[in-house]
Amino acid sequence: MPLLLPSSLYGLARPFLFGFDPEHAHEITLDGLARTQNTPLACAYSAPRVDDPVTLAGLTFPNRVGLAAGLDKNARCIDAFAAMGFGFVEVGTVTPKAQPGNPKPRMFRLPQRDALINRLGFNNEGLDAFLANVQNARFRKNSGGKTPMLLGLNIGKNAATPIERAVDDYLACLDGVYSHADYVTINISSPNTANLRSLQSDEALDALLGAVAERREALATRHGKRSPLFVKIAPDLDEAQVAVIAATLQRHRMDGVIATNTTLARDAVAGLPHAAEAGGLSGAPVREASNRVIAQLRAVLGKDFPIIGVGGVLSAADAKAKIAAGADVVQIYTGLIYRGPALVREAAQALLRDRSKA
Ligand SMILES: Cc1cc2nc3c(=O)[nH]c(=O)nc-3n(C[C@H](O)[C@H](O)[C@H](O)COP(=O)(O)O)c2cc1C
């Protein structure tokens, strides 16, 4: 039985980590997790996983709390996150080739609002290194007969690839990740890669998802398994845009939608230090917009279409509000930075209790 220390330990670690520049703190943390995962030191952040299985897109999610993409872009720490009790972990965004991302500094804390702004720009070591890390992960073997945690692999395009050739990058990534993923996420909503979000508009989305859906059929035949495809969208969309996206997802038989990525809006943080930095805003200030998009999606997609809700989950109550807005399961990024790994179990337990009341 792992020691249940994560909240108290994170209480000690947070002031230390917040003393560093955010990206440096992030690197220190990931290095620590990569070194200690699958060793006795992992007890510092391990917690028993809440057992609350839910079936979505043909997959059994062991519980309803997942790690959002972008925290572990190179898939180095999958086993550490599995030990924290997540029901599912999404790694990436990976691009076909390694790329450095935008110039530093490119990540900022807004602690007054439990928020971050980032303009990392898909800094990552590329598809080959990513797949090597994914293949080294042991969480499936470590699951000890229990339902294994699910692994989502999130794919994008290189900054140097012209937007008209974006489809090539998504197909190259899809080919590479397909057989290793429980689900694949098509990320078309990062604000930090020029023109990426234009892929959400009618014709571009239709062309991208048409090509991806066709390739998935070929890959399903080749590998003898049909991996679900999820599409990750932005919160900065109006109701009409959400409706068009929803219809396009259904037309191309996508298996789910992840709502949402970070926001370009700044009204909730206006006047605070760093608020004027370019990039995507995450954490508490994106919660309302994310919940609005989730509710709109649920209204147009009907009750059975899988929706993964993400954006501003910093407490058990926030996780419950996402489900109430229409999400089936939730993901966390910024909440983990501000609240530490204890949030995973807290949120998963709250959703379990909520269900038992239903
Ligand atoms: C520093 C940082 C990097 C991110 N990188 C990615 C990424 O590579 N791919 C992606 O799909 N989302 C990325 N995201 C977005 C998150 O997955 C999530 O959708 C968003 O932050 C809202 O959730 P949160 O409020 O819980 O952080 C990133 C977020 C942050 C804060």
For residue 156, the ligand 1 atom closest to its alpha carbon is 9
pLDDT score at 5: 47
* Residue 99 DSSP symbol: B
C-alpha distances out from residue 293 to 180, 232, 287, Å: 30, 12, 10
> Closest Cα to residue 105, out of 164, 24, 218, 184?
24
Q: Is 330 among the domain residues?
A: yes
Helix (H) or strand (E) segment spanning residue 88: strand 88-94
> In sequence order, what are the beta bridge partners of 232?
187, 258
Instruction: Write out the two tokens for 211.
Output: 């090509």
Amino acid identity for residue 109 in this structure:
R
* Radius of gyration, alpha carbons of the chain: 19
Contact 125, 131 (CB under 8 A): no
> What is the rounded distance in angstroms from the CA atom of residue 262 to the CA atom of residue 281?
5
For residue 312, the ligand 1 atom closest to its alpha carbon is 25
Q: Each residue's pLDDT tens digit in the chain (358 positions)?
A: 333 445 568 888 899 899 899 999 999 999 999 999 999 999 999 999 999 999 999 999 999 999 999 999 999 999 999 999 999 999 999 999 999 999 999 999 999 999 999 999 999 999 999 999 999 999 999 888 888 999 999 999 999 999 999 999 999 999 999 999 999 999 998 898 888 888 878 888 999 999 999 999 999 999 999 999 999 999 999 999 999 999 999 999 999 999 999 999 999 999 999 999 999 999 999 999 999 999 999 999 999 999 999 999 999 999 999 999 999 999 999 999 999 999 999 999 999 977 766 5
pTM for this entry: 0.97
> Closest Cα to residue 75, out of 23, 185, 151, 141?
151
Q: Where are the beta strands (DSSP E) in 128-285?
A: 150-155, 183-187, 229-233, 256-259, 280-283
Q: Name every protein residue with a CB atom under 6 angstroms from any ligand 1 atom.
A: 68-70, 73, 93, 107, 116, 118, 120, 122, 154, 187, 190, 232, 261-262, 282-283, 286, 310-313, 332-335
The CATH number of the domain holding residue 335 is: 3.20.20.70
> Closest Cα to residue 259, out of 208, 193, 325?
325
> What is the rounded distance in angstroms from the CA atom of residue 73 to the CA atom of residue 95?
10
C-alpha distances out from residue 241 to 197, 235, 336, Å: 12, 11, 30
Question: Residue 225: how many CA atoms within 13 Å on its side-chain side?
Answer: 13
Q: Is 3 among the domain residues?
A: no
Domain containing residue 337: 50-357
Q: What is the pLDDT of residues 83-135, one digit of tens each?
A: 999 999 999 999 999 999 999 999 999 999 999 999 999 999 999 999 999 99
Q: Is 190 a catalytic residue?
A: yes
Q: Is 282 among the domain residues?
A: yes
pLDDT score at 24: 94
Pocket probe mutation, ligand 1, options 287, 310, 333, 339, max atoms within 8 Å of Cβ:
333
> Closest Cα to residue 75, out of 3, 180, 161?
180
> What is the rounded distance in angstroms from the CA atom of residue 110 to the CA atom of residue 281?
9
Q: Is 20 among the domain residues?
A: no
Q: Is 254 among the domain residues?
A: yes
Q: Is 63 among the domain residues?
A: yes
Residue 234, judged by CB atoms within 10 A of its CB (0-12, 13-18, 19+), counts as buried
Q: Is 211 among the domain residues?
A: yes
Terminal CA-to-CA distance of the chain, rounded, Å? 31
Contact 159, 193 (CB under 8 A): yes
Q: Is 30 among the domain residues?
A: no
> Closest Cα to residue 138, out of 148, 146, 128?
148
How many whole angstroms from its chain centre is CA 301? 21
Catalytic residue among 189, 190, 227, 282: 190
pLDDT score at 187: 96
Residue carrying structure tokens 């109006």: 238
The structural domain count of the chain equals 1
- Atom 24 in ligand 1: residue holding the nearest Cα: 311
